[in-house]
Amino acid sequence: MGKKTKVALAIAAASAAVWAGTKAVAKPQKREDKDVLNFTRPIVLARHGGGHLAPEHSMLAFKKAAECGVDGFKVDIRLTKDEEIVLFHDASVEGLTGATGYVKDLTLAELRKLNIGENFVCLEGNHPYKGEKVEIVTLRELLEAFPDKLIYIDIKDAPDTYEGSLMPSKLWRLLEELQATGRVIVSSNYSEQTDRFNLYAQDRVALGAGDSDLAKAYTSLTSQFGHLYSPKVDVFETPLKSNVMNFDSPKFVKFLGDLNCHVLYTGINDLVTMSRLVRTGASGIVTDRPDIAETLLKKYAQ
């Protein structure tokens, strides 16, 4: 036996010993139950209110989605200059006709002057809201308008910005004031923002995964040390795949399900894929087409 072979065998033996040792003592911590996540069937959330049917994050979109019977909405939030929490995806307002600047540099009153529906193109290819004023919506308005809906909230402001530093506390105070802590999920692509929010929430609010949380879960699953993984969030909203990571598998759903975590697949806009993902064990779907998802909802309501 050559020297290189002996070294390889020694490394393999050592790795196996480490794995066996950690397997024997590891006790991954499951997430505690959250009432908002006690689903009796797969749920459907309208992303940005259902942005393929009406201007995203508009009250028009939320009302259309609600008429389709969705369980709730997935929304993005940003902080204005006068520290109001508004529903808006991009940092800049440049995409709106005649608008310049950033959400953080404009007051709510200034943002209200913008028309977020003017450039919307419907599925038929026309501009149904051309000339009709469609205003930006605050998170407060959404929570008050739909008290029976689950709201998945994504903090978009980065933690190293002024507005980002204020957002976790501002959000917590708003949810407490409206007594909405038990019907929301709070997340951010910046896991640090979710951690900051949880300093106030103290695990009393369901938390969603950020990019690093999702990557860590997937890496843990595909490594030999998945038994060491203890999640710090309750919900993983994920695309079907990202780069080399394929999240589209029953194994991934079961891995997280065994830890009392839920998987929601996002950007799913056709009924065939929705149905297939639900069959794999997904807790639900986040879609731009609540009208298509309505068929799925009716099926599981029977």
pLDDT tens-digit series, residues 255-297:
999 999 999 999 999 999 999 999 999 999 999 999 999 998 8
pLDDT value for 1: 54
The pair of three-digit structure tokens given for residue 63, joined into one six-digit string: 């009302």
**Intra-chain end-to-end CA distance of the chain, in Å:** 66
Mean pLDDT to the nearest integer, 167-172: 98
Domains in the chain, start-ordered, CATH in brackets? 33-92+139-301 (3.20.20.190)
The whole-angstrom separation of Cα 161 and Cα 30 is 33
**Dihedral pair phi/psi, residue 116, rounded to 5°:** -80, 0
Length of the chain: 302
Closest CA to 259 of 302, 285, 230: 230
Split at pLDDT 50, 70, 90, the class of 119 is confident
Split at pLDDT 50, 70, 90, the class of 302 is low
pLDDT tens-digit series, residues 69-102:
999 999 999 999 999 999 999 999 998 887 899 9
Split at pLDDT 50, 70, 90, the class of 127 is confident
Cross-strand bridge partners of residue 284: 43, 264
The pair of three-digit structure tokens given for residue 282, joined into one six-digit string: 């997904």
